[in-house]
Structure 1
Amino acid sequence: MPDVPMFQLDGVGVDYPTPAGLVTAVHDAAFTVPHRELTVLAGPSGSGKSTLLRVLGLVDRPSRGSVCFDGTETTNLGHRSRRLLRRDHLGVVFQQPLDNLLEYLSVEDNLHAAARSARRACDAAAILARLGLAHTADWRLTALSGGQQQRLAFGCELARGSAVILADEPTSQLDEASADLVLETLADLVADEFTVVVASHDDRLIALGSHVVRLREGRVAA
Structure 2
Amino acid sequence: MPEIFKLRGVGVDYRTPAGVVTGIDDVTLDIPANGVTVLAGPSGSGKSTLLRVLGLFEPPARGEVRFQGADVGAMRHRARRELRRKHLGLILQNPPDNLLGYLSVADNLRAAAESAKVTCRPDDILAQLGLDGTGGWDITALSGGQQQRLAFGCALARQATVILADEPTSQLDEASADLVLDTLRYLVAQDFAVLVTSHDERLISLGARVARLRNGKLESVA
Hey, what's the Cα distance between the residues in 2 that align with 1:60 and 1:101?
A: 22
Hey, what's the Cα distance between the residues in 2 that align with 1:26 and 1:51?
A: 7
Partner of residue 43, structure 1: 41
Hey, what's the Cα distance between the residues in 1 that align with 2:16 and 2:143?
A: 36
Partner of residue 63, structure 1: 61
Hey, what's the Cα distance between the residues in 1 that align with 2:35 and 2:71?
A: 21
Hey, what's the Cα distance between the residues in 2 that align with 1:37 and 1:155?
A: 17
How far the C-alpha of 1:98 sits from its partner, in A, is: 1.9
- Tell me how many residue pairs correspond in the alignment: 220
Hey, what's the Cα distance between the residues in 1 that align with 2:49 and 2:139?
A: 28
How far the C-alpha of 1:144 sits from its partner, in A, is: 2.2
Hey, what's the Cα distance between the residues in 1 that align with 2:180 and 2:20?
A: 37
Partner of residue 104, structure 2: 106
**Unmatched 5+ stretches in structure 1:** none
Q: Deviations over 1:12-48 (max 9, x none)?
A: 1111111211111111111110111110001111110
Partner of residue 171, structure 1: 169
Q: Residue type of the partner of 2:134?
A: T
Partner of residue 52, structure 1: 50
How far the C-alpha of 1:133 sits from its partner, in A, is: 1.9
How far the C-alpha of 1:80 sits from its partner, in A, is: 1.4
Instruction: Check if 1:87 corresponds to 2:85.
Output: yes
Hey, what's the Cα distance between the residues in 2 that align with 1:91 and 1:133?
A: 19
Instruction: Check if 1:193 corresponds to 2:191.
Output: yes
How far the C-alpha of 1:92 sits from its partner, in A, is: 0.8
Hey, what's the Cα distance between the residues in 1 that align with 2:136 and 2:185?
A: 27
How far the C-alpha of 1:180 sits from its partner, in A, is: 1.1
Instruction: Check if 1:12 corresponds to 2:2.
Output: no
Partner of residue 121, structure 1: 119
How far the C-alpha of 1:105 sits from its partner, in A, is: 0.7
How far the C-alpha of 1:172 sits from its partner, in A, is: 0.6
Hey, what's the Cα distance between the residues in 2 that align with 1:94 and 1:20?
A: 29
Hey, what's the Cα distance between the residues in 2 that align with 1:181 and 1:99?
A: 18
Partner of residue 144, structure 1: 142
Partner of residue 23, structure 1: 21
Q: Residue type of the partner of 1:68?
A: R
Partner of residue 74, structure 1: 72
Q: Please, what TM-score do these two structures have when normalized by structure 2?
A: 0.95
Q: Deviations over 1:99-157 (max 9, x none)?
A: 22111111110001111112222121121122222232112222222222111100101
Q: Deviations over 1:141-199 (max 9, x none)?
A: 22222222111100101111101001000011111111111111111112111111101
Q: Secondary structure at the match of 1:208?
A: coil
Given that residues 12 and 23 in structure 2 are in contact (C-alpha distance below 8 angstroms), is that contact kept between their aligned partners in structure 1? yes
RMSD in angstroms over aligned alpha carbons? 1.2
